[in-house]
Amino acid sequence: MRNVAVIGCYQSKFGELWDRSLRSLGTEAGLGAIKDAKIEKNAVQSLFVGNMSAGRFVGQEHLGALFADSMQMKIPAVRCEAACASGSVAFRSAYHSIASGDIDVALVVGVEKMTDVHGSGALTTLAAAGDQEWEASIGLTFAGLYALMARKHMHDFGTTREQMASVAVTNHKNGLKNKLAQFQLAITLEDALNSAVIADPLRLFDCSPITDGAAAVVLASENVARTLDVQPVYVLGSGQGSDTIALHSRASYTELLATKAAAKKAYESSGLRPSDINVTEVHDCFTINEIIALEDLGFVEKGKGGKFVERGAMDLNGEIPTNTSGGLKVCGHPVGATGIRQIGEIVRVLRGDCFNPINGAEIGLNLNIGGSGATSVVNIFGKEPRVR
C-alpha cells in the first residue's frame, strides 16, 4: 500500500441555495479543489462522486458522467452511495485506488441539492436511508430514531437534555467564524432547551438542517504530492463498518457498532490511539450522536459522553476539539457532501488555514455516519506520512 495525501480541498457555501443547481455546486467544488491543489485538470485520472439521492431530490442520476462532462474531464467517473456517509465512501474508493497503485491522482466531489422538494419530500427521501419496510413506512423519521437512542442513553447513563443542548451551544459558537456555514449565530443553553420539540427529547436546536452544498478534495500518491508546491496532508488510516439498517435489530441503542468497527480498523491501520488525535469532525446529525460518537471513538468511557461535553472537553481549547467548523448542526448537512466537508475541514486545520486554528494540531480524524448507524467511516489524517 502506497502513502496517499490530500493535496487540495474546496467547499461551496452551504445553505438554502435556491439559485444554484446540483450541477453548478458540484462543478464549483471540483474545479475549486483542483485549483487549490495547484495542478492542471488533465492531471486527474479518476473522479468519484459522493451523493445519496439526486434522483429523488432533483431527478438526476448518472452523476459520475454528469460531473466529468460538466468539468470537461474525459476520465473514469463513478457515483458512490451510502446514505449520509456517501462522501466518505467515495473518499475511501479514491484512497484505495491510489494506495493500490492503480492511479496517482483522483478527485472526489460530495454534493447534494435538497431544497428543490417540499420539506415532506425531503423527509421521505431521507427516510429511505433507514429500513423502508419496518421504519419509514410507519412514519418513523430519523429524528424519531435518534430520539429513541437519546431516551435509552438518558435511561441507562443519566444523560440529560442540558448535556445534549450543550453540544448545540458549543457547535454554534464554533461556527460563528465559518462564512461557508448555513448558520452563523450564537445560541444559549436556554435557547436550545426551549426550542420547539421535534421528537422528544430532541428539540429544534438538537437537529441538523436540510441543506444544499458541495465539497471536494484532490488525492495523490506521496510521490506526486512531493513534486507539488502544496502542503499535503496524509491519510494515516481508514476504516469502514456496517450494522443492521433497522434500529430495532441492533444489540444496543446506545452505541454504534459500525462506528466502533470503523474506528478499530482506522486506529490499527494508522498505528495510532484515541489519545494521539488532536482534532476531530464527527457526525452530529443530532446532538445525541455527537455524544455517542465521542464514546464509540474511544475519547471517553461509554455512558460518560454527556458529562464529557458538559465540562468543555470538546471545546476549541478542550481535551479533544470537536467540530471546529460548527459540525453538521451549524454548517448544514447536504448529505452527500458532509463527509468531504469534514475531511476538508480537518485538512485545513492541519494546514493552519481554517476558521478556528488549533495550535499544535498534528493529527485529525473524521467520522461520517450513514442512516441511523448502518454505515460508518473513520479516516485519520496527519501532517507527515506513515513510515511503511
pLDDT at position 22 = 98
Whether 351 has a pLDDT exceeding 70, the answer reads yes
> Given this model, what pLDDT does residue 123 score?
86
Report the pLDDT value the prediction gives residue 69, as an integer from 0 to 100.
Answer: 98
Annotated active-site residue in 9, 84, 331, 354 = 84
pLDDT for 242 beyond 70:
yes
Give dist(CA 387, CA 343) in Å, integer: 22
Contact criterion met (CB below 8 Å) for 265 and 378: yes
Q: So what's the pLDDT on residue 292?
A: 98
Task: Name the burial class of residue 304, with classes exposed (0-12), middle (13-18) and buried (19+) by CB atoms within 10 angstroms of its CB.
Answer: middle
Q: Is the confidence at residue 383, as pLDDT, over 70?
A: yes
* Weakest mean pLDDT among 29-33, 77-81, 134-138, 264-268: 134-138
For residue 261, pLDDT beyond 80: yes
Q: pLDDT per residue over 276-325, tens digit each?
A: 999 999 999 999 999 999 999 999 999 999 999 999 999 999 999 999 99
User: Could you say which of 153, 172, 283, 333 is catalytic?
Assistant: 333
**Residue 154, φ and ψ in degrees, nearest 5:** -65, -40
Whether the per-residue pLDDT at 388 is higher than 70: the answer is no
Enter the DSSP assignment of 245.
Answer: S
Per-residue confidence (pLDDT) for residue 387, from 0 to 100: 78
pLDDT score of 119 more than 80: no
Do residues 303 and 295 touch, judged by C-beta distance below 8 A? yes
Give the burial class of 330: count Cβ atoms within 10 A of its Cβ; 0-12 exposed, 13-18 middle, 19 or more buried: buried
Q: Is there a contact between 15 and 210 (Cβ–Cβ < 8 Å)?
A: no
CATH class of 4-117+211-225: alpha beta
Q: What average pLDDT score do residues 122-136 get? A: 91
Q: Is it true that 4-117+211-225 and 119-209+236-382 share their CATH fold?
A: yes
What average pLDDT does the segment 153-164 reach?
98
Confidence category of residue 120, pLDDT binned at 50, 70, 90:
confident
Active site (annotated) includes residue 84: yes
What string of DSSP letters covers 344-388? HHHHHHHHT-SSS--TT--EEEEEEEETTTTEEEEEEEESS----
The predicted-structure confidence for 182-233, as pLDDT tens digits, reads as follows 999 999 999 999 999 999 999 999 999 999 999 999 999 999 999 999 999 9
The predicted pLDDT at position 29 comes to 98
Confidence of residue 109 (pLDDT cuts 50, 70, 90): very high
- The domains of the chain are located at 4-117+211-225, 119-209+236-382
Verify whether residue 96 is a known catalytic residue: no
pLDDT of 157 higher than 80: yes
- The pLDDT value recorded for residue 328 is 98
Looking at residue 118, its pLDDT comes to 84
- pLDDT band of 386, cuts 50, 70, 90: confident
Mean pLDDT estimate for the chain = 97
Which homologous superfamily does the CATH classification assign to the domain defined by 119-209+236-382?
Thiolase/Chalcone synthase (3.40.47.10)
The x, y and z cell numbers of residue 115, run together, are: 431544497
